[in-house]
A and B are shown apart, each in its own frame.
Chain A
Amino acid sequence: MRSLLRRYREPLFVALLLALPFTVFAVKAKQKVALNAADRVVIAVTAPVEKLIVAAVHVGQDAWHDYVALGSVREENFRLRRELVREKAQTTAFAETKAENDRLRNLLEYTDKQGPLRSLVAPVVAVGASPHSHVLRIARGSEEGVHRGMPVVAPDGVVGTIALTTAHYADVQLIVSPTSAVPALNERTRARATVKGTGDQARCKLEYGQRTEEWHDGDLVRTAGTIGFFPQGLPIGRLVNVSKKPTGMFISAEVLPAVDFARLDEVIVVLGPQDAAGNALVNASSVGTAQ
């Protein structure tokens, strides 16, 4: 028996090493990913290095942009001045529209059910390397008040939710992940649906959009603001390839995400509603209300 074991020592060892992760995988596959102590140690070692490399690259890029690539600054300056004048004119128009909107809201006794939100700016330090990992790593963790399930947004729209946290880092599961589903509504018609990830970095799909409602290519889809999900009104993306099948209750459509996930340097973690005292900020680096 012993000689047999010695003879097949290597195949048996490999079989054991295959059985070990297979067992863990089979048991935990349907569960949410959780970090153990070893995972936290490895992330604590690697994440600061990732942060350092990204910071070094940004310093290099800034140096290039600030000192070397100044050739077209004068021309750009003229262009920006023209844009500024145009923007000022637009801002004035927007201010008038806002004032009118406020008046009408008061008139209709409109109550904003969506209170102001606490949020935290978080720099992105890495991305998931595999084409099947739809993950960003951010340099904010549970010590800064970031917890699993919190929504993460960017100025352009919805990014994803917090999947894992360590003390100072967290992984964000993007909305394009096949495990992601976001309650949504059509900005134009207010029709409700769900935006689901497909695993494709460039598009999601729209589900449960009723065929009796109006859906068109180019319609902007925003978050519906269901309790426990994203705040209401954040852009998710625009509809493409809308088609009504001859049968069935729902339409078929895809959503092009509003956010370019490959070009995110910073994201905003929505920590939750603001407290009564108006303590909106977690620390000096956080931003104010995100609405």
Chain B
Amino acid sequence: MVAPRSIAIVSPRYPDGATVGGAETLLRRFAERLAAHGLDVAFLATCARDHFTWANECPADVRRVNGVEVRRFPVSPDRDPALFHARQAAISRGETLTRAEQEEWLRHSVNSDALLDFLRAEGKRFDRLLAGPYLFGLVRAVARAFPDRTLLVPCLHDEPFARQSVIGEMLRAVRGCLFNTEPERDLAGRLHGPEACRGAVVGLGLDPFEADPRAFAARRGLGAPYVFYCGRREAGKGTPLLTDYLRAFRARTGRDVALVCAGSGPLDSAPFIHDVGFLPEKEKHEALAGAVAFVHPSALESLGIVLLESFLAGTPALVRAGGEVLRWQCARSGGGLWFRHYPDFETELELMLDRPDLRRAMGERARTFVRREYAWSAVESRLLQALETL
């Protein structure tokens, strides 16, 4: 099979600092790495930044960023947000939607007719279209219009949206999928049959870094040991659970442990919770390196980028046993423990506090694992091989 020379990467948002999203970040990194390999790469996104409103906040323009042609297109104006939210809420409640209702859900999600028109007009310029994540109308529209050229980057989570039959049809119809992890691929197969998990496991490359573990606490005036969380703060990511658990931990054990939360979204207010908002990369690395543990309470991850960054910082993690991907990462790296409920969490956090030797040993194993498995050289090799063979 001839290796593709020209690639379009399609995602609802282009991550440019103000936009946060693991899937979009992964796609941007793919784009830049492929461009560095001499491929003709375009990143096609909408003008939206906010995934709640999908308002056209950025200009519809064409730029070149790190060798990638970045094109933004307006979101189609004919979406009905109320209908979308009604369908979305019904899915979240576990209701069974009819085919027509599922179509409405995707139709009134984010779409861009201008982007699709561009892809149609450009004809065969692009050998492959990499589109993701799975749950947006735009991604589904691209997959439906160009199934033979589409490689889906689903970033699939075990959630009600993933169980919709329209999603299964999309997974089965495209040329193949680029999964982040083996559990994600298995999930696709489990939910929608063997045809849905055709593809390759690629993942995301991470650059190693060194960080001073004392710098963050010194700069922020933190006297107590702290656990760290970084990412979106919302129920789906488990942040309310984390604050509840730490509150109970402090009350039951009488130990002074702080919670440092980076990222965006609502957060409980308490003297032991430190909301540091968005952190520059260097400071994030220092915060990770100085933490007793990185706690990732989300059950909905397809890779766990920040978890892997915490491993690179040599900091072990505590994750939820129900989060299949994160638990898998902890088990295979030896860098983290998983908890079923509060009693497990209490015991494991005490272990992290009381056994620095164990923490160091786990951190070292985790760092070695990420440097081996998620080095860009290894990921690029998997990505290029997938593009050639799928």
Are A and B part of the same complex?
no
Which of B's residues lie within 8 Å of A, judged by CB? none
